[in-house]
Amino acid sequence: MADLERGLIQFYQACLPPLMPGEYSIDVEQTVREARPEPYRATLGFSVAGPRFSLNPTDVYSVYPPANQSGAYGNTLPHIVLVRRTLPWERTMDGSHPDEKHPCPWLALLVLNPSDCPNTELPKVAIRKVQELLRPGPGIKGPDLTAADLDAHESADDVCTTIDLPTALFAKIVPAKADLPYLAHVRQVRTDQKETASLQTEGCFSVVIANRFPEATTEGAAARNLAVLVSLEGIQRTLHGEPGAIKEETVRLAVLAQWSVLCQGQRTFKTLVSQLDSGLLQVPPPANDIPAEGRDEVATAYTLGYTGLAHRLRNGEPTVSWYRGPLVPLLYRKLDVYRSRPCADAALRYNYDTGLLDVTYAAAWQLGRLLALQSPLFAQTMYRTRNQERQRVNARMERDAQNRAYDLQGKEMGQYLAEELDRLPAALKKERA
């Protein structure tokens, strides 16, 4: 994948691995005619391993919504970010070779809502052996795999995490085969600014997205939703919309990752602001403390969103200045060019009619500087730039001082040589005589 510029993000539909998990062999043949007519042959067998029934916790980079955190996530599709960019496509659901033109992941992120089980609790995950997953027993449908389908490094006695879902619930929440390619992708970002990323992380992550939103509550405690990353290998015939029907009452799936999503409140900040109807965003002026001759000007200022705040100037003199926040009931035209200002006081505005200062832009300038200095990269870059500029100015001043000194010495030496040349003819005449 190509190098990514700072501030950009690149999406890819899929990233297939060079070799799928399985058994491979390399046959080497070499003929040395001078030594023997028959060729030398050698065979080397090796296996490519990949996650199947369990997942290493280090392969999970992050999840969203965060695990066991309560918030308004009712309009957010849960997703899991995996470190390996090829992980969702390292296997296929039916064990065949992957289709390069239409890659389909073998993983799916399911979300279980409280309304799915109104009378009981959400299904719980349990640790079982792989044999119990492949042969779950009567009344339970497992993946269409047998012990013969296991790789050389896998065993039926290995432990894995599983979940049992009612057949009706499974058929309701499992995605369709045609939707799976849209529920996984590869995302490339810059990791040099990420503190949680390893120094060896190249910035390409695979992302698996759920196909349904979590359920939220408007009152009381947050609703607990369960997000599970399951394997679809061996159940391709029982996906949503497939003609194959499940006769068993329960479906058992292998769980590779799982976390709880606590969701509360259907209304988000966007809906609250769109439904806000409280008039203009303004503060009522204090009518009792304002003299009669200035009451109209103060009322007009407060109508425009201003408020009077105590202000202490740089010389220590106290005064009252106008301030207005960014959420004002006015239409401001965006400037195309912003003039550079050396300090916050350069952004102060003085009203000659009232004799008061407007500190709105000065406060914004100071706030912007503080926010910028919170970034370690910006602070280090600014310090390095200022240090380089200071060194350049000092070097130039030192060079100018040396040039002036050398020019003065050159003039004095030239005058001395001229005087000596003037005396030279008289000395030569005297020597000849």
State the pLDDT confidence band at 263, using cuts at 50, 70 and 90: confident
Q: Report the pLDDT value the prediction gives residue 303, as an integer from 0 to 100.
A: 77
Is the per-residue pLDDT at 187 higher than 60?
Answer: yes
Q: Report the pLDDT value the prediction gives residue 408, as an integer from 0 to 100.
A: 57
Weakest mean pLDDT among 137-151, 209-223, 257-271, 317-331: 257-271
Q: Report the pLDDT value the prediction gives residue 301, as an integer from 0 to 100.
A: 80
Bridge partners of 358, per DSSP, are 322, 349
At residue 28, the 3 state secondary structure works out as: strand
Q: CA 266, CA 271: separation in Å to the nearest integer?
A: 9
Q: What is the DSSP letter of 141?
A: E
Q: CA 194, CA 160: separation in Å to the nearest integer?
A: 32
Q: CA 79, CA 77: separation in Å to the nearest integer?
A: 6
Weakest mean pLDDT among 254-263, 334-343, 351-360, 387-396: 334-343
Q: Report the pLDDT value the prediction gives residue 406, as an integer from 0 to 100.
A: 67
Is residue 337 packed enough to be buried (19+ CB in 10 Å), middle (13-18) or exposed (0-12)? exposed
Q: CA 185, CA 413: separation in Å to the nearest integer?
A: 79
Q: Report the pLDDT value the prediction gives residue 132, as an integer from 0 to 100.
A: 92
Pairing of strands 125-129, 79-82: unpaired
Q: Report the pLDDT value the prediction gives residue 60, as an integer from 0 to 100.
A: 93
State the pLDDT confidence band at 232, using cuts at 50, 70 and 90: very high
Average pLDDT, stretch 331-349?
81
Weakest mean pLDDT among 36-45, 81-90, 330-339: 330-339
Instruction: Note the pLDDT tens digit of each residue in 271-316.
Output: 667 767 666 555 666 656 666 666 777 777 877 778 888 898 888 8
At residue 40, the 3 state secondary structure works out as: strand
Q: Report the pLDDT value the prediction gives residue 27, as an integer from 0 to 100.
A: 92
Q: Report the pLDDT value the prediction gives residue 43, as an integer from 0 to 100.
A: 92
Tell me, what amino acid is at 182? Y
Q: Report the pLDDT value the prediction gives residue 382, as an integer from 0 to 100.
A: 87
Is the per-residue pLDDT at 341 higher than 90?
Answer: no
Rounded to the nearest angstrom, the gap between the alpha carbon of residue 191 and the centroid of all alpha carbons in its chain is: 9
Tell me, what amino acid is at 399? R
Which tops the pLDDT comparison, 354 or 281?
354
Count of alpha carbons within 13 Å of 158, Cβ hemisphere only?
Answer: 18
Q: CB neighbours of 134 closer than 8 A, spacing ≥ 6?
A: 142, 143, 145, 146, 147, 156
C-alpha closest to that of 97 among 151, 176, 22, 206: 22
The length of the chain, given as a count of residues: 433
Weakest mean pLDDT among 50-59, 185-194, 201-210: 185-194
State the pLDDT confidence band at 96, using cuts at 50, 70 and 90: confident
| Packing angle of the helix pair 376-432, 360-373 (nearest 10 deg) | 90
- Please report, to the nearest 10 degrees, the dihedral formed by the alpha carbons of residues 152, 155, 158, 162 taken in order: 100
Q: Report the pLDDT value the prediction gives residue 331, as an integer from 0 to 100.
A: 72
Q: Report the pLDDT value the prediction gives residue 11, as an integer from 0 to 100.
A: 92
Q: Report the pLDDT value the prediction gives residue 268, as an integer from 0 to 100.
A: 59
State the pLDDT confidence band at 233, using cuts at 50, 70 and 90: very high
Q: CA 42, CA 49: separation in Å to the nearest integer?
A: 23
Whole-number Cα distances in Å, 305 to 260, 272, 283, 322, 344: 44, 21, 7, 10, 21
Residue-averaged pLDDT of the chain: 83
Q: Report the pLDDT value the prediction gives residue 417, as an integer from 0 to 100.
A: 63
C-alpha closest to that of 51 among 88, 79, 80, 85: 88
Contact at 8 Å (CB) between 83 and 191? Answer: no
